[in-house]
């Protein structure tokens, strides 16, 4: 889905790559035993290592390594059996050591790819350049005092996976689709919670533009720490337009670092962009090279869960779902698991309709999640069966679902207690049909005179007279006989 910016002079295209920082799910930090719990009081979860105290030596957290390998496998990437930690040197208040322990020349994960699906029905493979693991910085707080900035070191030292893509994005929509897909994958894997609003998944976007048909790359701007998919798409689009305006007016774009202003929707200059040489990388002397064995990698492969793409294809084949419905149901592992439990042994397409329609509508209206839903998967499966076998009609099913939500009762119990079973006795329904026809001679004459669109009206009157309990199929059949 190529996005172009057309001017009176040229047609421009976006060239964009992403760097996504994903906080690794682990109880302790990557090089210390301090807690990673989010939301604790400021500076509560800080060790001497995190604070950069002299003489403190880092010890690598093996869980962070395992999570990074698992993520690499989930992104169809090469796992490097040999990787090295380096020091990335820069001085800032949120980095107490004056350097960050990261990986540079030899990352733990190499090239991979992720398939994204776009709104127009097309798909595209996005290249993964690398994944390396590193320590997060502390958090600077600028809005508590007009003259001072404060530092919260709780985040300092939390393990990060930096996932770097190839510059394969040609539209904001492609970048948004990738972020959603990546968030879904890491949540399935349990390697990152993907909460962009809490900062546990943050996106940097490197944006440049070029005249359509050009092959060479132009200077780029990097937009730092965008915290939502929507804002990432807006930031990419607005930065591209800014660069086009500069080129069209005869100017040049400098390699720079920007931030995205959510209130104005514009990117703002922060500083000129550093090059890798400016960080003076060198191997971390306190950590030996990380060497993984084939047995270790194969052991993690054996733990891998079914990921969204594979689950989507299986749902389509096994339950006869549309690609669109399967996409929605596999967006999160919680939704996929809920659906599969509900659909097992039942009509999968009908189950999907109830979940994506009535259930999601009530969950959203009441700000609840599937975990807190009063309606369980087994209740939806049972409701579908009651409708499929003719015990109740689809219309009554709506009423039963509402009572399931309110009371938490099983659908069969509600149907029994409320006397909602569908009437399937043809003689009882025939009597109601005869009464309706006898009570409406004018409409009966009009129908027989050629006004056949009244058929639906008669169906409605019979259903109304039966209080919705008559079997709709029998009603239609009997009316056709009587009216014919």
Helix axes 441-448, 455-465, angle to 10 degrees: 150
> What pLDDT does residue 109 have?
98
Model pLDDT for residues 308-323, shown as the tens digit of each residue = 999 999 999 999 999 9
Residue 162 has pLDDT above 80, yes or no: yes
Q: Residue 386: exposed, middle, or buried by beta-carbon count in 10 A (0-12, 13-18, 19+)? A: buried
pLDDT at 425: 64
When pLDDT is cut at 50, 70 and 90, the band that residue 277 belongs to is low
Query: Does residue 182 carry a pLDDT above 90?
Result: yes
pLDDT band at 58 (very low <50, low <70, confident <90, very high): very high
CA 440 to chain centre: 55
The confidence band for 82, taking pLDDT boundaries of 50, 70 and 90, is very high
Helices assigned H by DSSP within 20-171: 62-74
Looking at the predicted structure, is the pLDDT value of residue 484 above 80? no
The rounded distance, in Å, linking the Cα atoms of 212 and 215 is 9
Mean pLDDT of 454-482: 83
What pLDDT does 445 receive? 85
3-class SS letters over 390-405: CCCCHHHHHHHHHHHH
pLDDT at 400 over 80: yes
Q: Is the pLDDT of residue 77 over 80?
A: yes
| Average pLDDT score over the chain | 92
Q: What is the pLDDT of residue 468?
A: 74
Strands (E), 62-141: 82-83, 85-89, 99-103, 112-117, 123-135, 139-141
Q: Which residue has the tokens 């194969």?
A: 298
Of the pLDDT bands very low, low, confident and very high (cuts 50, 70, 90), residue 275 is low
Residue, of 419 and 216, whose pLDDT is higher: 216
| Higher pLDDT pick, 130 / 431 | 130
Distance CA 113, CA 117 (A): 13
What confidence score (pLDDT) does residue 482 get? 80
CATH no. for 426-483: 1.10.10.410
Q: How many CB atoms lie within 10 A of CB 231?
A: 17
What number is the average pLDDT over the span 40-66? Answer: 94
Express as a percent the part of the chain with pLDDT over 70.
98
Higher pLDDT residue, 21 or 262? 21
Instruction: Provide mean pLDDT across the span 78-83.
Output: 98
Can you give the pTM of this predicted structure?
0.86
pLDDT at 466 over 70: yes
pLDDT for res 111: 97
Is 206 a residue whose pLDDT tops 80? yes
Would strands 221-226 and 256-261 be described as parallel, antiparallel, or unpaired?
A: parallel
- Cβ neighbours of residue 83 closer than 8 Å, sequence gap 6 or more: 103, 106, 107, 108, 132, 289, 290
Q: What sign does the dihedral 80-103-189-312 (CA atoms) show?
A: negative
Alpha-carbon span 63 to 107, nearest angstrom? 17
Q: Who contacts 23 (Cβ-Cβ below 8 Å, separation ≥6)?
A: 36, 136, 158, 159, 160, 192, 193, 199, 200, 201
Q: What residue ranges do the domains of the chain occupy?
A: 4-299, 306-418, 426-483
pLDDT at position 84 is 97
Work out the average pLDDT over 74-87: 97
Specify which residues 19 forms β-bridges with.
164, 204
């Amino acid at each position: 889905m190529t996005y172009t910016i057309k001017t009176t002079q040229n047609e421009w295209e976006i060239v964009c790559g992403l760097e996504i920082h994903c906080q690794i799910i682990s109880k302790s930090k990557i090089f210390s035993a301090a807690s990673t719990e989010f939301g604790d009081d400021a500076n509560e979860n800080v060790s001497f290592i995190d604070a950069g105290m002299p003489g403190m030596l880092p010890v690598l957290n093996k869980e962070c390594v395992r999570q990074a390998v698992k993520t690499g496998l989930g992104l169809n990437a090469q796992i490097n059996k040999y990787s090295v930690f380096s020091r990335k040197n820069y001085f800032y208040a949120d980095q107490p050591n004056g350097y960050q322990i990261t990986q540079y020349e030899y990352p733990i994960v190499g090239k991979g790819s992720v398939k994204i699906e776009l709104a127009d029905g097309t798909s595209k493979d996005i290249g993964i350049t690398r994944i390396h693991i590193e320590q997060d910085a502390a958090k600077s707080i600028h809005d508590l005092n007009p003259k001072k900035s404060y530092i919260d070191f709780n985040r300092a030292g939390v393990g990060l996976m930096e996932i770097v893509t190839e510059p394969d994005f040609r539209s904001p929509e492609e970048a948004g689709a990738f972020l959603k897909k990546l968030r879904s994958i890491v949540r399935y894997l349990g390697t990152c919670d993907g909460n962009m609003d809490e900062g546990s998944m943050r996106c940097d976007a490197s944006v440049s533009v070029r005249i359509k048909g050009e092959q060479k790359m132009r200077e780029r701007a990097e937009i730092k720490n965008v915290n939502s998919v929507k804002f990432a798409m807006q930031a990419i689009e607005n930065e591209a337009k800014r660069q086009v305006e500069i080129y069209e007016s005869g100017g040049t774009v400098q390699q720079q670092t920007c931030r995205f202003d959510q209130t104005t929707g514009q990117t703002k200059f922060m500083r000129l962009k550093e090059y890798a040489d400016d960080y003076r990388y060198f191997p971390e002397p306190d950590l030996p090279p990380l060497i993984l064995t084939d047995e270790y990698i194969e052991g993690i492969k054996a733990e891998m869960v079914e990921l969204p793409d594979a689950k989507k294809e299986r749902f389509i084949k096994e339950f006869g779902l549309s690609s669109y419905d399967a996409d929605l149901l596999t967006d999160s592992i919680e939704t996929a698991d809920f659906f599969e439990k509900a659909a097992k042994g039942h009509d999968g397409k009908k189950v999907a309709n109830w979940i994506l329609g009535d259930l999601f509508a009530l969950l959203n209206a009441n700000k609840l999640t599937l975990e807190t839903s009063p309606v369980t998967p087994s209740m939806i499966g049972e409701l579908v069966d009651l409708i499929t076998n003719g015990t109740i009609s689809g219309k009554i099913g709506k009423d039963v679902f509402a009572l399931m939500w309110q009371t938490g009762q099983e659908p069969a119990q509600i149907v029994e207690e409320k006397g909602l079973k569908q009437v399937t006795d043809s003689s009882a329904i025939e009597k109601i049909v005869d009464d309706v026809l006898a009570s409406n001679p004018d409409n009966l004459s009009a129908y027989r005179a050629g006004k056949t669109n009244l058929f639906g009206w008669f169906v409605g009157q019979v259903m109304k007279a039966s209080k919705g309990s008559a079997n709709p199929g029998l009603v239609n059949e009997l009316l056709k006989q009587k009216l014919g």
